[in-house]
Structure 1
Amino acid sequence: MNQAAKLQPITQEVSLSAHITNDPMDIQSAFELRHQVFTQEFGAELHSEEPGIDKDEFDEYCYHLVVKEQHSQRVVAYSRIITSDMARQHNGFYTAGEFKLDGIMDESKRYMEIGRTCVSDDHRSGSAIALLWGQIGQFMLEHNIDCLIGCASIPFINGSRQTLAVIDYLRTKHFTDASKRVIPKHTLPQVQNDMDGKHLVPALLKAYLRMGCKVCGEAHWDKAFNVADVMVLLEKENINMRYLKHFLRA
């Protein structure tokens, strides 16, 4: 965990800052934000020991990345980072609970998994997401990470048609080669759908794609969180450096 101290906080002019934290108050606030976003907006059914927070067994061994308002110190965005070393020493990667990962994992490479990423509803204009990605990109470079993996969630809103439309769009434009696919453990129903999903892609997933992420096949149906999760993969050589430098300049 001490390696996190090497990362310099990234700031933007809208009085936000992003950094990896070990502060118990910051982490508690992040758990509360996660609960708020996932239960109120996604309709997730969370089963945490403490009411009003989202916390699971993976939170004990990870880096907690937060974006905070500088004047109020309120946590407004969050992402959890688990490295290959952490996964080997503890409970593995969270994504392994939703997908069979054999098709994309290479034991000779260093991985980081991002998860539980969320942004407060009053900070989704781009700044908070940019700060998250700036710090994630900086982490990849400073820790010599070869590949980033993680679940990107597509909520079920007004039924499943919009969700399936997004996945149809991803299938035609953003899937990995067939040799780099994962297998979802609970697949979504396949139905005919004439909606255009391009303009329905959630903001966080859209940022992942702009950064250079690819989607590793079909979605997993996470019933507890009421979302369709797709597995994203970002290989170091495919990072959109122009996009990353835009974040890092902040």
Structure 2
Amino acid sequence: MNAQTAAIARPARRLTTLISRDPAQIKAAQRLRYELFSEEYGSDLGTETPGLDADRFDQYCDHLLVTDARTGQLVATTRVLHQDSTRYLGGFYSEGEFDLANLWKHPGTFAELGRTCVHPEYRNGATISLLWARLAEYLVIAKVDYLIGCASISMADGGLKAWRIASHLQQSYLTEVSYRVFPRRELPHLTHTLQNDRPVDVPALIRAYMRLGARVCGEPCWDPEFRCADLLVMLEVGQLADRYSRHFMRQERQG
């Protein structure tokens, strides 16, 4: 069988989604997160348990898991922390990186998205669309008004890529002033980044945020533990474009 025939004969992937707080499933998500984040950011993540990316927020989050039903492999995950659960934690994860005081002036219910990752072999439109479809359903059911989260960019090159992406997003997707947040640890400025005319390669997950209608809430924060730059992004759930919400709500949970 030649390579072309083998590719044609390969069984189609069938992806399933699940939202869980089961400790065993959370541990599987933590293992996938460690595998992908440690490789992407070149960091041990400051983990206390070898091979697991775990923190105190995990047990209070709802974990969205995407699995390849044909192999049983966990291929993508993210977690959602509802505002109601922050009373056990003293706040959202992102409050350790940003001053969010301006956000709390707006009425409505907040939730935080975090630790989103997709296995490299599954980083395609089908997987990411399925992830957001399940997330959209969750947000509607949970009656969330605003979704916030840290969008991370690797600093492996010293910050050039991070500043170019941050500058590009701030030009095109910046929130109104009343939603601005402020980094507690500012990312060192690289003034020459704006003089680079090469196309800006925005990571696929951040592009997906922007397509959903998300906006950047200000300047990036430097996260030395993950060796990355974080942008606080916000999605007003009620303002999802009709074409996206209709697509998400009717999409079958398989790819």
Fold in common (TM above 0.5): yes
Cα deviation, 1:114-145, whole Å, max 9, x if unaligned, reads: 00111111110122211111111111111111
What residue in structure 1 maps to residue 173 of structure 2? 174
What displacement does 1:67 show?
A: 0.6
The answer (yes or no) to whether the contact 2:13–2:70 under 8 Å persists in 1 is no
Is 2:48 aligned against 1:69? no
In structure 1, what is the equivalent of residue 25 of structure 2? Answer: 26
SS state at 1:105 partner = helix
CA distance in 2, matches of 1:130, 1:197: 28
TM-superposed CA distance for 1:29, in Å, is 1.2
2:232 equivalent to 1:231: yes
Q: Is the 8 A contact 1:77 1:120 kept in 2?
A: yes
Matched, 1:206 2:230: no
Deviates more, 1:19-28 or 1:140-149: 19-28
Question: Is the Cα–Cα contact under 8 Å of residues 211 and 239 in structure 1 kept in the other structure?
Answer: yes
Instruction: Tell me which residue corresponds to 1:218.
Output: 219
Shift of 1:168: 1.1
Which residue is equivalent to 1:40? 39
User: How far apart are the structure 2 equivalents of 1:197 and 1:126?
Assistant: 25
Letter of the 2:182 counterpart: I
Matches within 5 A, 1:175-190: 175-190=174-189
Aligned-partner SS, 1:149: strand
Percentage of identical aligned residues: 38
The aligned residue for residue 132 of structure 1 is 131
Q: C-alpha separation between the residues in 2 aligned to 1:88 and 1:117?
A: 23
1:108/1:58 CA distance change after superposition, 3 Å: same
Alignment-mate amino acid for residue 57 of structure 1: R
Stretches of structure 1 that go unaligned for 5 or more consecutive residues are 1-12
* Segment drifting more, 111-120 vs 20-29: 20-29
CA distance in 1, matches of 2:163, 2:45: 24
Distance 2:184 2:170 in 1: 18
Change over 3 Å in CA distance of 1:167–1:198 after alignment to 2 = farther
User: 1:10: which partner in 2?
Assistant: none
Supply the AA of the counterpart residue of 1:235: E
Q: Could you tell me which residue of structure 2 aligns to residue 246 of structure 1?
A: 247
TM-score (norm 1): 0.89
Gaps spanning 5+ residues in structure 2: where?
A: 1-11
In 1, Cα distance between the equivalents of 2:202 and 2:182? Answer: 22
Q: CA RMSD in A?
A: 1.7
Q: Does 2:85 align with 1:86?
A: yes
* TM-score (normalised: structure 2): 0.88
Answer whether contact 2:151 2:231 (CA < 8 A) is retained.
Answer: yes
Distance verdict in 2 for CA 1:133–1:196, change over 3 Å? farther
Structure 2 counterpart of 1:164: 163
Greater helix share, structure number? 2
Specify the alignment match of 2:5 in structure 1. Answer: none
Q: Of the two, which has the highest radius of gyration?
A: 2
Deviations 1:180-227 (CA, angstroms, capped at 9, x unpaired)? 100001111222222357641111110000000000000001111111
Give the C-alpha shift of residue 44 in structure 1.
2.4
- Please say if residues 103 and 179 of structure 1, whose CA atoms lie closer than 8 Å, have aligned partners that are also in contact: yes
For this pair of structures, how many residues does the alignment match? 238
Please show how residues 113-152 of structure 1 align to structure 2 within 5 Å.
Answer: 113-152=112-151
Tell me if the contact between 2:21 and 2:61 (Cα under 8 Å) persists in the aligned partners: no
